């Protein structure tokens, strides 16, 4: 994806054309209001493994209907619900990824599902506005030259020209490559193309028949695991008491801990998921630094192993209210920003220099005798590896708020998916009925003897007279006279 940028009004552009335009003209390309160079903000858009933009905290992919905001000082882009829950409600005025401080006015809306442009693509984020350096690039004067338009129509065209992006119609590039002359489209024509969906030509062709078929959309995307997890994390943040309780059984005794699921749901979800899978069972605390930390969670016991429950690193969830300010703080070990896996550590005393670098997600509760015993274990001063292995036998989950949330969210998605399948099947059935009604099955006329209808290609049936005989009139003379009498009022022959 090319380097992108946004302005204070939330309009998205390609970075280089926008920067060059602003540097030359000192105005906003769309609104024509004054715009300085520092009004162009580079967009730091996170991409998942499929190359789709997503929220680095909630892991929700950005689609055309997602409410998306950006933090102006850092340029990072988030799902609005994430910022609302983890910044606005908590009054946490630091960026959720890199800790850059910002103010409430620095939250810029890039996409509002309740206020979308007319040419908006529901499957794409962000909607990029093109930058045209000169008016002739768009050609509004050429579009209206030689055409008699009223003053109100001119105003409408002028407004459309400043608010709608222009695109080439389908097939234009093919005609250009074929060597044929491609007539230039007017601004109004190009705007019409920009407002049509990708499959509009097919729908229009079907609609030309007298029995138009019901179109079936083929671009309905299945719900991804990331979207389901995003819903689970959002629901966890709304919990008033979203704590989980775990018991970590070690060779030195038991350690009881409380996890902050409503504050850092993704980190807690990962730890609880791995614990329920038995991922931590029969591992060791591979690193112990006296009066500093006790680190574990690596099945390889090398300090460089371990993976998250998703199989790939997940981003940090750093909150200003969760700090390494006491003994027994449970935090994630990492190899840099947004590289969390399975490893964790306990602090043996306040270590505030770790704030903003590691995600705090729990706290030891009750007596910490087992943790003190582990912290006093003799180690190799060079490698910080215990001379005598300290085992982590198991992690028992005593209380897990995600279980009920997960069932509720997944059931809702299953119901929605079943409903979508029924709707698609119903649409296919309607389409099939319409096609069968329009394209009737061909009938053979050879040897047809069952029909009594008169037709050029149908054989007579029953005791029909031969071709050389005439059938005698069946109506009686009285009936004929009655017909004449009834038609007397309309008989004009006597005149």
The side-by-side arrangement of strands in the sheet containing 12-14 is 12-14, 4-6, 41-43
Alpha carbon distance 376, 135 (integer Å): 74
The side-by-side arrangement of strands in the sheet containing 293-296 is 283-284, 391-399, 243-250, 253-260, 360-365, 329-332, 344-347, 293-296, 287-289
Is the Cα torsion angle 227, 235, 407, 322 positive or negative in sign? Answer: positive
- Residue 295 is a catalytic residue: yes
* Helix H or strand E segment including 229: helix 225-237
- Residue 120 is a catalytic residue: no
- Residue 334 is a catalytic residue: yes
- Residue 292 is a catalytic residue: yes
Choose the catalytic residue: 292, 323, 349, 427: 292
Q: Nearest-5° angle of CA 423, CA 428, CA 432?
A: 150
Burial 425-462 (b: 16+ CB within 10 A, else e): eeeeeeeeebeeeeeeeeeeeeeeeeeeeeeeeeeeee
Alpha carbon distance 95, 102 (integer Å): 7
Choose the catalytic residue: 92, 295, 340, 343: 295
Phi, psi of 421 (to 5 degrees): -65, -40
Q: Nearest-5° angle of CA 258, CA 261, CA 265?
A: 140
Choose the catalytic residue: 263, 287, 346, 400: 287
Alpha carbon distance 426, 316 (integer Å): 45
How many CA atoms are closer than 13 Å to the CA of 253, on its beta-carbon side? 12
Q: Cβ distance 368 to 255 under 8 Å?
A: yes
- Residue 190 is a catalytic residue: no
- Residue 324 is a catalytic residue: no
3-state SS class at 383: coil
Listed residue (216, 126, 223, 145) closest to 186, CA to CA: 145
Residues whose CB is less than 8 angstroms from the CB of residue 301 and which lie 6 or more positions away in sequence, other chains included: 283, 284, 286
C-alpha distances in angstroms, 122 versus 113, 118, 125, 290, 384? 10, 11, 8, 55, 53
Choose the catalytic residue: 260, 286, 324, 358: 358
Q: Nearest-5° angle of CA 111, CA 115, CA 120?
A: 70
Choose the catalytic residue: 48, 84, 334, 427: 334
How many CA atoms are closer than 13 Å to the CA of 370, on its beta-carbon side? 20
Alpha carbon distance 374, 206 (integer Å): 74
Choose the catalytic residue: 62, 233, 345, 361: 345
Residues whose CB is less than 8 angstroms from the CB of residue 369 and which lie 6 or more positions away in sequence, other chains included: 253
Active centre residues (catalytic): 287, 292, 295, 334, 345, 354, 358
């Amino acid at each position: 994806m090319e380097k992108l940028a946004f302005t204070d009004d939330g309009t998205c552009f390609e970075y280089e054309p926008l920067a060059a335009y602003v540097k030359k003209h000192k105005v906003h390309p769309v609104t024509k209001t004054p715009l300085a160079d520092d009004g162009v903000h580079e967009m730091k858009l996170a991409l998942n493994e499929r190359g789709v933009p997503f929220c680095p905290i909630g892991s929700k992919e950005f689609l055309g209907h997602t409410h998306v905001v950006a933090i102006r000082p850092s340029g990072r882009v988030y799902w609005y619900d994430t910022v609302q829950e983890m910044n606005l409600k908590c009054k946490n005025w630091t960026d959720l990824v890199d800790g850059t401080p910002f103010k409430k006015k620095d939250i810029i809306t890039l996409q509002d599902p309740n206020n979308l442009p007319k040419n908006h693509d529901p499957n794409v984020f962000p909607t990029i506005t093109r930058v045209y350096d000169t008016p002739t690039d768009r050609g509004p004067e050429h579009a209206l030259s030689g055409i008699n338009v009223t003053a109100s129509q001119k105003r409408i065209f002028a407004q459309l020209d400043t608010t709608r992006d222009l695109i080439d119609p389908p097939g234009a590039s093919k005609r250009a490559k074929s060597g044929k002359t491609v007539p230039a489209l007017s601004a109004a024509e190009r705007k019409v193309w920009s407002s049509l969906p990708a499959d509009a030509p097919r729908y229009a062709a079907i609609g030309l028949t007298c029995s138009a078929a019901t179109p079936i959309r083929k671009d309905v995307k299945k719900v991804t695991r990331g979207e389901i997890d995003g819903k689970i994390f959002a629901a966890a943040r709304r919990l008033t008491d979203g704590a989980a309780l775990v018991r970590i059984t070690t060779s030195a005794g038991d350690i009881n801990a409380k996890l902050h699921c409503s504050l850092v749901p993704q980190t807690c979800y990962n730890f609880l998921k791995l614990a329920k899978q038995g991922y931590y069972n029969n591992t060791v605390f591979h690193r112990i630094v006296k009066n500093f930390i006790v680190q574990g969670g690596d099945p390889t016991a090398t300090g460089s192993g371990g993976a998250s429950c998703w199989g790939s690193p997940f981003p940090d969830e750093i909150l200003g209210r969760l700090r390494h300010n006491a003994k027994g703080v449970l935090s994630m070990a990492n190899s840099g920003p947004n590289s969390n896996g399975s490893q964790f550590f306990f602090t043996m005393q306040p270590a505030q220099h770790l704030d903003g670098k590691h995600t705090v997600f729990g706290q030891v509760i009750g007596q910490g005798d087992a943790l003190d015993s582990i912290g006093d274990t003799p180690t190799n001063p060079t490698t910080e590896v215990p001379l005598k292995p300290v085992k982590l036998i198991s992690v028992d989950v005593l209380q897990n708020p995600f279980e009920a949330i997960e069932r509720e969210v997944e059931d809702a998605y299953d119901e929605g998916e079943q409903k979508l399948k029924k709707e698609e099947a119903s649409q296919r059935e309607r389409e099939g009925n319409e096609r069968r009604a329009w394209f009737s099955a061909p009938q053979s006329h050879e040897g047809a003897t069952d029909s009594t209808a008169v037709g050029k290609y149908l054989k007579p049936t029953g005791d029909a007279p031969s071709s050389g005989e005439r059938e005698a009139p069946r109506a009686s003379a009285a009936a004929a006279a009655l017909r004449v009498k009834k038609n007397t009022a309309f008989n004009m022959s006597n005149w």
